[in-house]
Structures are given as structure tokens and as C-alpha cells.
């Protein structure tokens, strides 16, 4: 018998908000990114620190022996 997982109301809320946000931009990724960048710029203008992380280097593949 498969284990039943209970629904987490916080996860449900996050998923609902994310779906609504995507709907607002008709799931257009370019428009979503532009909106997020605009929000970051507004926050930075108000003195909030916006953190940007450097991309991680690709993992090295093991050498064939």
C-alpha cells in the first residue's frame, strides 16, 4: 500500500501564489523575469540589499580508466 502524504497548507499557498503570478504574465518567462528584475531594482533603490550569487562551476566528470 502506498504511503499517503498529508497536504501542507504552506506549500499549497506557495503553489497557489506562484500559479497566480504566472497567470498574471500569461506564463511568459521573459515577462516574469523582467518583472522580478524591476522589483529588485525598486528594492535596491529603497536601500534594500539585493544578493546575487555567482554561478557554480560545472561538476567535473570522473576520468575514464
Report domain extents, the chain.
9-45
Q: Model pTM? A: 0.63
Residue with cell 499549497: 12
What distance in Å separates the CA atoms of residue 6 and residue 36, rounded to the nearest whole number?
A: 32
Alpha helices in 1-65 (DSSP H): 9-24, 29-45
For residue 40, count other CB atoms closer than 10 A to its CB. Answer: 14
pLDDT in tens, 22-65: 999 999 999 999 999 999 999 999 999 878 888 888 888 877 76
CB 10 within 8 A of CB 18: no
Amino acid at each position: 500500500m502506498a504511503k499517503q502524504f498529508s497536504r501542507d497548507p504552506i506549500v499549497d499557498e506557495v503553489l497557489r501564489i506562484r500559479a497566480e503570478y504566472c497567470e498574471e504574465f500569461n506564463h511568459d518567462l521573459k515577462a516574469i523575469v523582467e518583472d522580478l528584475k524591476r522589483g529588485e531594482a525598486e528594492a535596491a533603490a529603497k536601500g534594500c540589499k539585493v544578493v546575487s550569487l555567482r554561478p557554480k562551476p560545472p561538476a567535473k566528470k570522473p576520468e575514464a580508466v
